[in-house]
């Protein structure tokens, strides 16, 4: 990459223009790192832009201490570097982060940190992408007058901002004005240590809601978990084997609906019926639901046991909050000290990418897997297939191959043009 000019146009006079010879990758999470590594192997240079001050900020800053990967490690590794052999089947968050740090080092990936992409637009007139960022350095130094803005200009744009870029924070009557206790989103939760002896309402029963409720129990807090609709809970392992791995294996032989049926029978054998505990199953099977609506089944690591024992109380949808209390739709009122919103995440792509053909309003590509990785005019998406890290790894390999081919064509052309020039010149 090199600077082209200081721009004095329609935006701040402090905007620098930077010409990038390869692609710009937005996001230095596992997806962005995987694309950068695969490109490196093909000899294609790139620029990685990251709003945080580190790689994999979701893992380093927005997850709780005791988190472990919930799929076996072979489904979570990035291309071209397997996990170390001494890693356990389900690596801890610390191990996963050290693997990613090592990955970035091995492939010499050096993202531009503290740069948040504000907008990206395809410029039809020159056939290039214009990607604008602002510096996100905090502290007294980042005043309006010295906040740096940069415009990157490139031929290829890789969107790697992830399915979890922003928190979903629902508006519930009385929550912000009347409740008056502590309210956090699941991404701010670190440990149950701070909640010892406290009555905590956990809103949401996805993997986050379940695991945080369990962690709260383990720290002698009193969690109540809101289950407003329905949820699939599967054991993480069945008969000593990973349920996910078993499902992947079955899917090579059987149709999805049948695999779903088998998973549900196995879950019933392990757990028995759950309706006694206030938990209904969705009518659609777990994998069909994941594929069609992106709703991840819960892979249980012990929360269900605590639900059965009554340590985690299951409560229905919320009607409203009062000072120090919550009322549910059935009219019951429960006194609580704190609220943890385990209400999920969303993509932020529509807030910065000015494009509506490939990406839909919800921030995911319109075309489903396996065609969600490539758009038009050099636009790519990695990690939006709702298939976790293995989906991201597969997108990354395809993207790098695609760009690599064009890169080689173009550099070959440039070389022959140069060689031809030299030959022409040497004839004089
Ligand atoms: C708690 C939790 C546990 C999970 N566990 C598993 C698991 O065990 N196995 C599995 O396969 N998947 C798991 N997942 C799924 C998860 O999506 C992946 O693990 C993975 O982090 C996705 O990588 P990514 O790079 O696509 O997104 P992210 O890790 O979210 O990285 C995106 C990066 O883009 C940056 N960014 C966003 N917007 C901008 C912007 N405008 N400008 C610049 N930078 C920006 C962010 O700061 C972030 O660093 C889990 C998810 C969560 C939330
Ligand atoms: N160990 C691991 O590997 C972990 C992995 N993860 C992954 O992270 C991703 C995000 O998971 P998660 O954070 O659980 O988010 P999810 O989107 O999976 O779940 C959100 C939950 O919040 C509920 N909810 C949303 N709004 C409201 C509301 N207003 N009132 C009541 N309930 C509400 C939803 O209910 P409804 O269904 O009714 O909308 C749902 O139960 C998933 O892919 C998950 O697998 C998360 C934690 C640990
Ligand atoms: O943990 C996640 O968020 C994932 O997306 C991993 C994942 C991909 N496909 C699944 C099917 C069932 C459970 C987890 C996953």
* Per-residue pLDDT, 84: 98
In the numeric block, which tokens belong to residue 217? 């129990």
Distance separating alpha carbons of residues 32 and 151, to the nearest angstrom: 19
**Does position 13 have pLDDT exceeding 80, yes or no?**
no
Contact 325, 181 (CB under 8 A): no
Give tens-digit pLDDT for 293-334.
999 999 999 999 999 999 999 999 999 999 999 999 999 999
Please report, rounded to a whole number, the percentage of residues in the chain having pLDDT higher than 90: 87
Of ligand 1's listed atoms, the one at least distance from the Cα of 186 is 1
**Does position 421 have pLDDT exceeding 60, yes or no?**
no
CA dihedral in degrees (1, 52, 55, 110; nearest 10)? 20
Lowest-pLDDT range, 247-251, 334-338, 407-411?
A: 407-411
Q: Write the CA distances from 304 to 282, 307, 336, 339, 350, integer angstroms.
A: 17, 5, 22, 21, 37
**Of 14, 33, 116, residue with least CA distance to 80:** 33
Distance separating alpha carbons of residues 219 and 190, to the nearest angstrom: 12
Name, in order, each residue with C-beta under 8 angstroms of 165's C-beta and a sequence gap of 6 or more: 345, 346, 347, 348, 349, 363
**Does position 119 have pLDDT exceeding 90, yes or no?**
yes
**Of 27, 70, 61, residue with least CA distance to 46:** 27
Report the DSSP pairing between strands 325-328 and 313-315: unpaired
* Per-residue pLDDT, 200: 98
**409 CA from centroid of ligand 3 (Å):** 37
Nearest ligand for residue 243 CA: 3
Element (H, E) at 225: strand 222-226
Contact 388, 369 (CB under 8 A): no
- Residue ranges of domains in the chain: 16-164+347-418, 169-344
Mapping DSSP to helix (H, G, I), strand (E, B) and coil, where does residue 363 land? Answer: coil
Average pLDDT score over residue span 396-406: 98
Distance separating alpha carbons of residues 334 and 279, to the nearest angstrom: 19
Fold observed for domain 169-344: FAD/NAD(P)-binding domain (3.50.50)
* Per-residue pLDDT, 63: 98
Which of 134, 164, 290 for mutating ligand 1's site (highest number of atoms within 8 Å of CB)?
164
Provide the mean pLDDT of the chain: 93
* Per-residue pLDDT, 423: 42
Q: Does the beta carbon of 76 lie inside 6 Å of ligand 1? A: yes
Q: Does the beta carbon of 232 lie inside 6 Å of ligand 3? A: no
Give tens-digit pLDDT for 188-204.
999 999 999 999 999 99
Angle 31-351-67 (CA atoms, 0-180°, nearest 5)?
A: 40
Contact 211, 342 (CB under 8 A): no
What 165-171 contacts at long range (C-beta under 8 Å, 24+ apart), as own/partner pairs, is: 165/345, 165/346, 165/347, 165/348, 165/349, 165/363, 166/345, 166/346, 166/347, 166/348, 167/341, 167/343, 167/344, 167/345, 168/341, 168/343, 168/344, 168/345, 168/346, 169/341, 169/343, 170/203, 170/341, 170/343
Q: Does the beta carbon of 326 lie inside 6 Å of ligand 1? A: no
Q: Does the beta carbon of 229 lie inside 6 Å of ligand 2? A: yes
Same fold, 16-164+347-418 and 169-344: yes
* Per-residue pLDDT, 7: 46
Q: What values do phi and psi take at 224, rounded to 5?
A: -120, 130
Of ligand 2's listed atoms, the one at least distance from the Cα of 170 is 29
Give tens-digit pLDDT for 27-50.
999 999 999 999 999 999 999 999
**295 CA from centroid of ligand 2 (Å):** 8
**344 CA from centroid of ligand 2 (Å):** 4
Q: Does the beta carbon of 290 lie inside 6 Å of ligand 3? A: yes
Adjacent-strand bridge partners of 376? none
* Per-residue pLDDT, 145: 53
Q: What values do phi and psi take at 391, rounded to 5?
A: -65, -45
Lowest-pLDDT range, 145-149, 224-228, 281-285, 370-374?
A: 145-149
The whole-model pTM stands at 0.95
**Of 18, 25, 27, residue with least CA distance to 46:** 25
Q: pLDDT band at residue 422, thresholds of 50, 70 and 90? A: very low
Name, in order, each residue with C-beta under 8 angstroms of 415's C-beta and a sequence gap of 6 or more: none
Fold observed for domain 16-164+347-418: FAD/NAD(P)-binding domain (3.50.50)
* DSSP state string for 335-358: E-SEEEE---EE--HHHHB---SS
Average pLDDT score over residue span 246-258: 97
Of ligand 3's listed atoms, the one at least distance from the Cα of 390 is 8
**Of 20, 53, 52, residue with least CA distance to 36:** 20
* Per-residue pLDDT, 228: 98
Q: Does the beta carbon of 383 lie inside 6 Å of ligand 1? A: yes
**Of 407, 421, 424, residue with least CA distance to 46:** 407
């Amino acid at each position: 990459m090199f600077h082209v000019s200081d721009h004095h146009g329609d935006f701040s006079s402090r905007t620098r223009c930077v010409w990038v010879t390869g692609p710009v990758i937005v996001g230095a999470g596992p997806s962005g790192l995987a694309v950068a590594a695969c490109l490196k192997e093909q000899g294609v240079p790139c620029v990685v832009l990251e709003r945080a001050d580190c790689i994999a900020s979701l893992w380093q800053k927005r997850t709780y201490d005791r988190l472990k990967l919930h799929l076996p490690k072979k489904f979570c590794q990035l291309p071209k570097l397997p996990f170390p052999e001494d890693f356990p089947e389900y690596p801890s968050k610390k191990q996963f982060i050290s693997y990613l740090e090592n990955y970035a080092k091995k492939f010499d990936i050096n993202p531009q940190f503290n740069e948040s992409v504000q907008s990206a637009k395809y410029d039809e007139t020159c056939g290039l992408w214009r990607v604008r960022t602002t510096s996100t350095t905090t502290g007294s130094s980042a005043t309006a007058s010295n906040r740096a803005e940069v415009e990157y200009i490139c031929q290829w744009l890789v969107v790697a901002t992830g399915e979890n870029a922003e928190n979903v924070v629902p508006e519930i009557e009385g929550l912000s004005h009347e409740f008056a206790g502590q309210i956090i989103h699941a991404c701010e939760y670190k440990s149950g240590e701070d909640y010892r002896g406290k009555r905590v309402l956990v809103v949401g029963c996805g993997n986050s809601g379940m695991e945080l409720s369990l962690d709260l129990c383990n720290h002698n807090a009193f969690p109540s978990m809101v289950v407003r609709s329905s949820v699939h809970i599967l054991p993480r392992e069945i008969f000593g084997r990973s349920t996910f791995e078993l499902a992947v294996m079955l899917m090579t032989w059987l149709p999805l609906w049948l695999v779903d049926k088998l998973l549900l029978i196995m879950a019933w054998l392990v757990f028995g019926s759950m309706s006694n505990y206030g938990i209904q199953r969705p009518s659609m099977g777990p994998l069909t639901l994941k594929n069609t609506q992106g709703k991840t089944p819960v892979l249980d690591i012990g929360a269900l046991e605590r639900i059965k024992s009554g340590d985690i109380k299951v409560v229905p949808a919320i009607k409203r909050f009062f000072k120090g209390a919550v009322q549910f739709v059935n009219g019951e009122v429960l006194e609580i000290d704190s609220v943890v919103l385990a209400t999920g995440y969303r993509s932020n792509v529509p807030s910065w990418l000015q494009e509506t053909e490939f990406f839909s309003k919800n921030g995911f590509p319109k075309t489903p897997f396996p065609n969600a990785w490539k758009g038009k005019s050099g636009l790519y998406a990695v990690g939006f297939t709702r298939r976790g890290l293995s989906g991201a790894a597969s997108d990354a390999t395809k993207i790098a191959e695609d760009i690599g081919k064009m890169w080689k064509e173009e550099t070959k052309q440039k070389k022959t043009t140069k060689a031809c020039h030299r030959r022409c010149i040497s004839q004089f």
